[in-house]
Chain A
Amino acid sequence: MITVTNISKKFGKGKDAVTALDQVSFNVCEGEIVALIGLSGAGKTTALRSLNLLEQPDSGSIKFNGKELLTLGALELRQLRTRIGIIFQQFNLISNRTVFENVAFPLEVAGYSKEALVARVEECLRVVGLYEKRDVYPAQLSGGQKQRVAIARGIANRPHVLLADEPTSALDPLTKEEVLTCLRDINQKLGVTIVIATHEINIVKRLASRAVIFSGGRIIEELQVKNQKIEAKHEFTKRFLEVA
């Protein structure tokens, strides 16, 4: 579904330039949960954000259902983005909009009619189990609930894929659980493909079917997750799995 080929990305110029991604290639298949993992600064976030061009790679190619993303015009890019959901570590909800209005936002952008919008928002709030909270403001929610609202917002416009950057890193162990369950549900029940950037190996084992291991802006290896276990081949990955 998504094919990333040899993308590179530098931040800054000249001597101070940081290579965040160096000739990175991977793909994302329909219906799977793939995890991008690695130590801090490895390039996971940059790789994830490249998928909806929140970060513009300097070179390479990203194909989404066969369509090249790096050459899209502004309008095409906006249209594409309505089909890719994203959630963030810090939730990034609109604090002066209610839960309902937050989830409605992508549907307003996509031009839904009033009735269709209400129906879809309510449906998504039920999926994440927050229908009763529809009229409260984000400040009145727990961290886990905020992230579930963000997930509802992320899937509202029926995206092909949901990107998640450290979705549980701001949460305590119990609320982590609630968000993980929610992500697994939308993958299994709704068939939403998920790409998740995380440094938490437990999340990978619990959730993902495949892990892409990053280090220093490169991909070290790709591994299958079977029965919540990862068999590392590479020395680096073995050490990483021990400490993580």
Chain B
Amino acid sequence: MSSALIENLLNILPDFIQASKETGIMLLVGLSSAAIFGGALGTFLYLWREGGLLQNRVLYFLVGGLVNVTRSFPFVILMITVIPLTKKLAGTSIGPLAAAVPLSIAAIAYFARLVELALNEIPRGVIEAAESMGASVPKIVFSVLYVEARSPLILALTSLTVSFLSYTAAAGIVGGGGIGDLAIRFGYYRFQTEIMVVTTLTLIVLVQLIQVSGNILAKQFNHK
């Protein structure tokens, strides 16, 4: 490596650390809201659907429609559309916390469908057995559904995290910051190709790590 290259990289080290923190904030906020709200939403969609434990055509249609609409928005447009909400929730429309708002909304909608799909894979008979033992719906949700679907749920969260990482890069363009933003600012606009390469490599390694740990966890928890 030439000394110029090393110097270049050392120069942006503070920026790089800052960017990593920003990405971390976006991931943390987005993923936790997805896990909590998206998880709950997906569970209700599953319960409300035709033949579900709490079958409700109206709610399934309305909430399912809302989820679909959210999911069909191109992310950049969603980001702009929700700016008023972002200002309310984050107090500002720039920075990682602000970017976390549209990111969370997209992630909630995406994860809700993943959860619904994962729950759909549980054999009907297992749920019926729990029902026939007099279990309440919450008992079935927490002791049967989440237990039987936990590996697919972990994998769903993993794939959400991976796609999320590229969303955070897009969020960077409109002032969210983060590693993706760093790559574009230095690597693309200032023609410092090596920085582009290093940040991209970092993202690739990160994605690999997330996927591998997700796979391992999912396997660990599966007894099928």
B217 to chain A, nearest CB (A): 13
> Known contacts being A93-B126, A94-B148, is A54 close to B131, with CB within 8 Å?
yes
B34 to chain A, nearest CB (A): 23
Known: A94-B148, A105-B143, A109-B139. A80 touches B134 (CB 8 A): yes
| B134 contact from A78, A94, A97, Cβ within 8 A | A78
Q: Per a CB cutoff under 8 Å, which of B123, B129, B144, B223 touches A86? A: B129
Chain A residues with Cβ below 8 Å from B132 are 52, 54, 81, 84, 86
Partner of A95, one of B128, B135, B143, B224: B224
Given A108-B143, A137-B223, A139-B223: A94 in contact with B126 (beta carbons within 8 A):
yes
With A78-B136, A109-B134, A139-B224 already in contact, the answer to whether A54 and B128 are too (CB < 8 A) is yes
Chain A-chain B contacts (Cβ-Cβ < 8 Å), number: 70
Q: Which of A79, A96, A105 contacts B224, CB < 8 Å?
A: A96
Q: Contacts A54-B128, A95-B224, A109-B139; is A79 near B148 (CB within 8 Å)?
A: no
Q: Which A residue's beta carbon lies closest to that of B221?
A: A96
In the complex, which residues of chain A have a beta carbon less than 8 angstroms from the beta carbon of B223?
95-96, 137-139
Is A92 a contact partner of B135 (Cβ separation < 8 A)? no
Measured in the bound complex, the distance between the Cα atoms of B178 and A237 in whole Å is: 77
| Known contacts A92-B125, A97-B147; A109 and B131 CB within 8 A of each other | no
Size of B's binding interface in residues, CB under 8 A: 22
In the assembled complex, A19 has its CB within 8 A of some CB on chain B: no
Collect the chain A residues with CB atoms within 8 Å of residue B144's CB: 94
Q: How far is the CB of B222 from chain A (nearest CB, A)?
A: 7
Would you list 10 pairs from A and B whose C-beta atoms are within 8 A, ordered by A residue?
A54-B128, A80-B134, A81-B132, A81-B134, A84-B132, A95-B148, A96-B221, A105-B133, A105-B135, A109-B136
Which positions in B face A, CB cutoff 8 Å? 123, 125-126, 128-136, 139, 143-144, 147-148, 150, 221-224
Given contacts A92-B123, A94-B148, contact A109 B135 (CB under 8 A): yes
Nearest CB on B from A43, distance (A):
18
The interface of chain A, by Cβ under 8 A from chain B, is 52, 54, 78-82, 84-86, 88, 90, 92-97, 105-106, 108-110, 137-139, 153, 157
Interchain CA distance A153-B144 in the complex, whole Å: 15
Interface centre among B130, B134, B136, B139, by most A CB within 10 Å?
A: B134
Give Cα A225 to B130, complex, Å.
33
Residue of B nearest to A163 (CB): B132
Q: For B143, what are the chain A residues with a Cβ–Cβ distance below 8 Å?
A: 94, 105, 108
CA distance A138 to B126 in the complex (A): 13
In the assembly, what is the distance between CA of A188 and CA of B123, in Å?
A: 33
A194 to chain B, nearest CB (A): 15
Add 5 more A-B contacts to A54-B132, A94-B126, A157-B133 (CB < 8 A): A90-B125, A92-B125, A92-B126, A96-B222, A108-B143
Give complex CA distance A153, B128 in Å. Answer: 14
Q: Which of A52, A78, A81, A96 contacts B147 (CB 8 A)?
A: A96
A90 to B224, CA, bound (A): 15
Roughly how many angstroms separate A95 CA and B135 CA in the complex, as a whole number? 17
Nearest CB to that of B224 among chain A residues? Answer: A95
Contact A92 B134 (CB under 8 A): no
Q: Which A residues lie within 8 Å of B133 (CB)?
A: 81-82, 85-86, 105-106, 109, 153, 157
Closest residue of B by beta carbon distance from A136: B223
B44 CB, nearest partner CB in chain A, Å:
18
Query: Which chain B positions have C-beta within 8 A of A82?
Result: 133-134
**Inter-chain contacts of B139 with A (CB < 8 A):** 108-109
Closest beta carbon of chain B to A99's beta carbon, Å = 11
Of listed B126, B129, B147, residue having the most chain A CB within 10 A: B129
Cβ–Cβ < 8 Å partners of B136 in chain A: 78, 109
- A92→B133 CA distance, assembly (Å): 12
List B contacts of A97 (CB < 8 A).
147
B151 to chain A: closest residue by CB: A96
Compute how far the CA of A38 lies from the CA of B33 in the bound complex, rounded to whole angstroms.
Answer: 54
